[in-house]
Each structure stands twice: as C-alpha cells, then as structure tokens.
Structure 1
Amino acid sequence: MWLVYQIIYIAIFVTSLYAFIEALRTPAPAYAAMDKQTKKLWVGLLGVATALSLLAVVSGTGMLTFLALIAALIFILDVRPAVRNVGRSEGPYGPW
C-alpha cells in the first residue's frame, strides 16, 4: 500500500511542478488581461504546492498534498488556457 501512495505523491509532485513552471513562464500582464488574479499569487501558491508535494514524496506522508493537486489542476485547467495566448499574434496557420 505504501508503494501506491508513493506513486500518487510522485504524480502530484510532477503535476504541481509543471504548473509552477508554466506560471513562471507566463508574462505578468497576461494574468491581469484575462482577470485571473496576479502572477505573484499563482507563483506563490504553486510554489507552496510544489514544496508540499516534494515533502510528501521525501517523507512518505502528505495530508496536504491533495490541496496541492487541487491548486495545480485549477491553474492547468482554468488559468493556463486563458492566459496562454495573450499578446501573441498568430495567423491562421500558426505564429507569424
């Protein structure tokens, strides 16, 4: 059973790390343009989520890792699609 939890914790860590990196890569004005809070808030929230999920992987226990997963999934499924293409000029066949 311990191995199953460890696999879940690793999956949550990878998900939150991906969301954290995407939050860092997105320009700050894109968040304001799409009314999705601020970049500082998302980077801070996802940084804490990534740290909590890494702690769960290392220690093997993690009560708060599912909260980290929820924060990462909200960013990936709601915020990232909204702010991804703000400010980019794209033609009908891709970027020009």
Structure 2
Amino acid sequence: MGTVMLVLQIGVLVMAVYAFIHAALQRADAYTAAEKLTKPVWLVILGLAVALTSILSFVFGVLGMAISACAAGVYLVDVRPKLLEIQGKSR
C-alpha cells in the first residue's frame, strides 16, 4: 500500500508542478479574456497544491493529495485550453 501511495503522490506532484509552471508562463490578460480567475489567484491555488502534495503531505495525507489533484486537474482541463485558444496556441 505504501508504494502505491508514493507513486500516486509523485504523479500528483508532477501534475501540480506542471500546472503551476504553465500558469506562471501565461500572460495575465489572457486569464481575464478567458473569463477565468486571475493569474495571481491561480498561482496561489496551484502553489498551495504543490505545497499540499510535497511539504504538507505528512499532515494532510490522502486528503491533501485529492485536493491538489482536483486543483491541478481543473486548471489543466478547463483553464489551460482556454488560455491556449485565446493566445492562438491551441492545437
């Protein structure tokens, strides 16, 4: 069971770090043009997701991982495609 949790934690951490880096590299005006939360708000949300998964994992455990996965997932599935579309980078 411990190995499975470690693999899940690493997966969620990688996803949250990727989402944070992607959010940091986008233009601030693209967030408002996409009618999403502002860039600083997303950076705080995703930064907390990274912290919950890495530094605070011993306190929050599975709950922290679930919260982090949800936050990063919402960004990657909902916000990221809109930002890419607005900036003309969509596939």
Q: Same fold (TM over 0.5)?
A: yes
Q: Where do 4+ consecutive residues of structure 1 move more than 3 Å?
A: none
Cα distance in structure 1, aligned partners of 2:83 and 2:72: 15
In structure 2, relative to structure 1, the CA distance for the partners of 1:39 and 1:61 (3 Å cut) is closer
Cα distance in structure 1, aligned partners of 2:60 and 2:3: 12
Offset, 1:76: 0.1
In structure 2, the residue matched to 1:15 is 15
| 1:78 paired to 2:78 | yes
Cα distance in structure 2, aligned partners of 1:86 and 1:46: 21
Cα distance in structure 2, aligned partners of 1:60 and 1:2: 16
1:1-96 aligned within 5 A: 1-55=1-55, 56=57, 59=58, 62=61, 63-88=63-88
Offset, 1:72: 0.1
Give the gaps of 5 or more residues in structure 2.
none
8 A Cα contact 2:23 2:42, kept in partner: yes
8 A Cα contact 2:16 2:49, kept in partner: yes
| Deviation larger for 61-70 or 47-56 | 61-70
What is the one-letter code of the residue matched to 2:40? K
What is the one-letter code of the residue matched to 1:24? A
Give the gaps of 5 or more residues in structure 1.
none
Cα distance in structure 1, aligned partners of 2:23 and 2:87: 16
Q: Name the % identity.
A: 33
Offset, 1:47: 0.3
Cα distance in structure 1, aligned partners of 2:2 and 2:59: 8
Cα distance in structure 2, aligned partners of 1:20 and 1:87: 18
Query: Which has more strand, going by share of residues?
Result: 1
Query: Which has more helix, going by share of residues?
Result: 2
